[in-house]
Amino acid sequence: MDKGRILLAVTGFHPQRWHELLSAERDVVLEPDGPNDPSINYAVVWKQRPNLLTGLPNLRAIFSIGAGVDHLFQDPSVPDVPIVRVVADNLSRHMTEYVVWRVLDHHRQGALYRAQQARKVWHEPQQRVAHDISVGIMGLGQLGRAAANALLGLGFCVNGWTRRETRVEGVSTFHGEAGLIPFLNATDILVVLLPLTPDTQGIVSYDLLRELRRRNGLGGAVLINAGRGKLQRDADILRALDDGTLKEASLDVFETEPLPETSPLWNHPKVFVTPHAAATSDPAHLVKPMLDQMSAFERGEPLLNLVDRAAGY
Ligand SMILES: NC(=O)c1ccc[n+]([C@@H]2O[C@H](COP(=O)([O-])OP(=O)(O)OC[C@H]3O[C@@H](n4cnc5c(N)ncnc54)[C@H](OP(=O)(O)O)[C@@H]3O)[C@@H](O)[C@H]2O)c1
Gap from CA of 194 to ligand 1 centroid (Å) = 4
What pLDDT, in 10s, does the model give residues 204-251?
Answer: 999 999 999 987 778 899 999 999 999 999 999 999 999 999 999 999
Cross-sheet strand order for the sheet of 189-192: 171-175, 157-162, 134-138, 189-192, 221-225, 246-251, 271-273
CA–centroid distance, 289 to ligand 1, in Å, is: 21
User: Is the N-terminal amide bond of 38 cis, ω within 30° of 0?
Assistant: no
In sequence order, the 6+-apart residues with CB closer than 8 A to the CB of 52 are 7, 9, 32, 43, 75
Q: Of 93, 214, 276, 309, which residue is the catalytic one? A: 276
pLDDT band at 172; cut points 50, 70, 90: very high
pLDDT at 52: 95
Residues 222, 106: contact at Cβ < 8 Å?
yes
Its CATH class, for the domain covering 89-273, is alpha beta
- DSSP code of residue 35: T
Helix (H, G, I), strand (E, B) or coil at 73: helix
Indicate which residue's Cα is closest to atom 39 of ligand 1. 162
pTM of the model: 0.97
CATH of domain 5-86+281-298: 3.40.50.720
Express each pLDDT in 102-121 by its tens digit.
Answer: 999 999 999 999 999 999 99
Residues forming CATH 3.40.50.720 domain(s) in the chain: 5-86+281-298, 89-273
Within 6 Å (CB) of ligand 1, which residues are found? 66-68, 91, 95, 139-144, 161-164, 166, 193-197, 199-200, 226-228, 252-253, 276, 278-279, 313
For a mutational test of ligand 1's pocket, the pick from 91, 163, 273, 309, i.e. the residue with the most ligand atoms closer than 8 A to its C-beta, is 163
Distance 242 CA to ligand 1 centre (A): 29
Which one of 71, 94, 228, 233 is the catalytic residue?
Answer: 228
3-state secondary structure of 225: strand
| Distance (Å, whole) CA 52 – CA 250 | 36
